[in-house]
Structure 1
Amino acid sequence: MAAPAPAAAPAGKGILLKADPIAAAYRDEVKSMLAQASTKPKLVGILSTSSEPSKSYAEFTRRQCEELGVEFVLKKTGAALEAELGEGEGVEEAIIEANEDESVNGIMVYFPIFGPQQDHYLHQVVSPLKDVEGLHFKFHYNLYHNIRFLNPKSLLETVTTPSGHTTSTIDGEVPPPGMVKSIIPCTPLAIVKCLEYLGVYNRILPYGDRAYGKTITVINRSEVVGRPLAALLSNDGARVYSVDIDSIQEVLAQSDAVVSAVPNASYKVKTEWLKDGCICLNVAADKNFEKEVRDKASIYVPAVGKVTILMLLRNLLRLQQYQRIQEESK
């Protein structure tokens, strides 16, 4: 469906576009999936730090789940439970408990906790059958190899075997017999959906090439957002610069779209470095773009959280289906 034309902006100014209209179509999709589900899905959130952004995201998750009719349980451990406890204390035990609870369909852990290396370990502790965030190595393997489908029975196997089914990360695909869609990390997928809505993707081109001819810079190289997003965009034909915060002036001047997800309140992308008419998406909890960003950007999206949570809930409903397939195959 073509994006409706945003309201006219003052002369010389780009459009400030909030995520609500982008999220609307996916909200309807999630509602439809929920209506068809045999039981209400259950999502467990695990909060183990005193981080204010994590607390806010947990509350946002709760509200969204309640509005849509998803059961949400917030499990607090460590510093989130009691101030005298350590940051992250008890988080691994809470994940294992949720893995073993047959009533739980999905697990969401509020990162960051310890730092990249230890957090990456925790991503692998979450059962791939309950990983709504799509951070398990099985899903990352598929993403980095552009493998779109998998056999749901393979999720509990210890060895990843290529399926041979490669294609773009799009909606409307019909998996081959016996296969289901692989789970895609929810934040990178939400960003792709925003770029599709904003016209960065060309719907006339064939799947796998719809971002052909576009140059996109991603300012974040984490395994949670930056690297998976770069892979998704590359799989769809874009020329992608995956960069850290240093030495980015040259690539920004070439970029049709700029996505920034730097978790630092003091970091700002300089407006003067942007290409005229580019599209800018802020993914960080803090605003990574200067107030004057729309002097250069044709469209600026200040947050994508409302789309991200719907991608997460869509993953939850798919995993509920995969769990049912597992049970029926026993």
Structure 2
Amino acid sequence: METHTAKILDGKALAQKIQTELAATITESQPKIGRVPGLAVLMVGDNPASAAYVKNKEKACAKVGIASFGKHFPTQTSQTELEAVIAQLNEDERVDGILVQLPLPNHLDAVGLLHTIAPDKDADGLHPVNLGRLVRGETGLRSCTPAGVMRLLQEYKISLAGKQAVVLGRSILVGKPMALMLLEADATVTIAHSRSQDLKTITQNADILIAAVGIPGLITADMVKPGAVVVDVGINRVTDSSGKNSLVGDVQFAATADVAEYITPVPGGIGPMTVAMLLQNTVSSYLQVHNL
């Protein structure tokens, strides 16, 4: 019997291609606009994972020519102080995108801060106005992770129209906007979650399976329809018996790759695409302001 291994959906390579395109767009637009695009990433406290993500985002900005206006605040910073900073950034003409790095210290209200961001500078695409535009199928800034998934599927010319898509997870960050974007692309969409009964029966029907629950290795090979497209949004830090740390997704990669037609790796799949879409959103806002 011949062994079959799924084709890899290489988010890392596509993210680099997008960054190259964005760099060219910025080089071309800068003389007309008179400045480069600007992104402000706000981080509160000293969560090491968040610090690594922020550094990663700022490095990506520098690479394509986006100016960083990020600020790092001590853990005890108040809601009022942060809202005042966001209000200033809303008015700052050099800033096209604003995002608050999550998670925040417990005393802060993340939703309240998000509502303070001007919708057209909402680089994460999570403001109610932008989610409303997504529901209505209007143009607007889109949530970075699901937008990255869509862009990756498009790059590999994976057709979605009429296909059965199953989204595992219902968060406002990924699950819900993901389902809406798949609907917009004419897929038939099922949303499943921790309370869904008989998950295996649901996932086995999926032509396109998107796992975004944050449970390491939840999806096993027998839960996947042969020839399906499997997109793993989970990024879980696990420690093995010898104390070694590694990143794994929600999908058992090796076994599932024997069944699926396409699969995303973790790391190197959706992670880099999320950052690429953040840059894309910032550049879109920048061009929008100047009607370019």
Q: Distance in 1 between matches of 2:235 and 2:226?
A: 25
Q: Which residue of 1 aligns with 2:157?
A: 199
Aligned partner (choices 265, 285, 291) of residue 319 of structure 1: 285
In structure 2, what is the equivalent of residue 278 of structure 1?
A: 228
In the alignment, the residues of structure 1 paired with residue 131 and residue 214 of structure 2 have an alpha-carbon distance, to the nearest angstrom, of 22
CA distance in 2, matches of 1:109, 1:280: 30
AA partner of residue 277 (structure 1): G
Residue in 1 aligned with 2:170? 221
Contact 1:53 1:285 in 2 (8 A): no
Q: Note if contact 1:43-1:70 (Cα within 8 Å) is conserved in structure 2.
A: yes
Q: Partner of 2:252 in structure 1?
A: 290
Distance 1:73 1:229 in 2: 29
User: Which residue of 1 is the match for residue 7 of structure 2?
Assistant: 15
Length-normalised TM-score, structure 1: 0.73
How many residues align? The count is 267
In structure 1, what is the equivalent of residue 179 of structure 2?
Answer: 230
The amino acid across from 1:290 in the alignment is Q
Contact map agreement 2:23 2:64 (CA 8 A) in 1: yes
Q: State the Cα RMSD in Å.
A: 2.5
1:75-97 superposed Cα distances (whole Å, 9 cap, x missing partner): 11243xxxxx3798954343233
- 1:84-103 aligned within 5 A: 85=76, 90-103=81-94
TM-score by length of 2: 0.82
- Secondary structure class of the residue paired with 2:55: helix
Number of the residue aligned with 2:29 = 37
Alignment gaps of 5+ in structure 1: 1-9, 80-84, 149-181, 202-210, 326-330
**SS of residue matched to 2:103:** coil
Q: 1:68 is matched with which residue?
A: 64
Structure 1 pair 274–256 and aligned structure 2 pair: CA distance change class (3 A): same
**Which residues of 2 match residues 40-51 of structure 1 at below 5 A?**
40-51=36-47
* Contact 2:164–2:205 (CA under 8 A) maintained in structure 1: yes
Residue number in structure 2 paired with 1:165: none
1:71-126, Cα deviation, whole Å (9 max, x unpaired): 113311243xxxxx3798954343233223333221121123368x9433322211
Report deviation, 1:320: 1.7
Q: Deviations over 1:171-230 (max 9, x none)?
A: xxxxxxxxxxx22222211110111223322xxxxxxxxx22211111121112111111
Cα deviation code 1:38-92 (max 9, x no counterpart): 311111111114433322211110111111121113311243xxxxx37989543
Q: Which amino acid aligns with 1:23?
A: A
Q: Which residue matches 2:112?
A: 121
Task: Return the structure number with greater helix share.
Answer: 2
1:107 paired to 2:65 = no
Gaps of at least 5 residues in structure 2 are 237-248
Tell me whether 1:251 sits opposite 2:202 in the alignment: yes
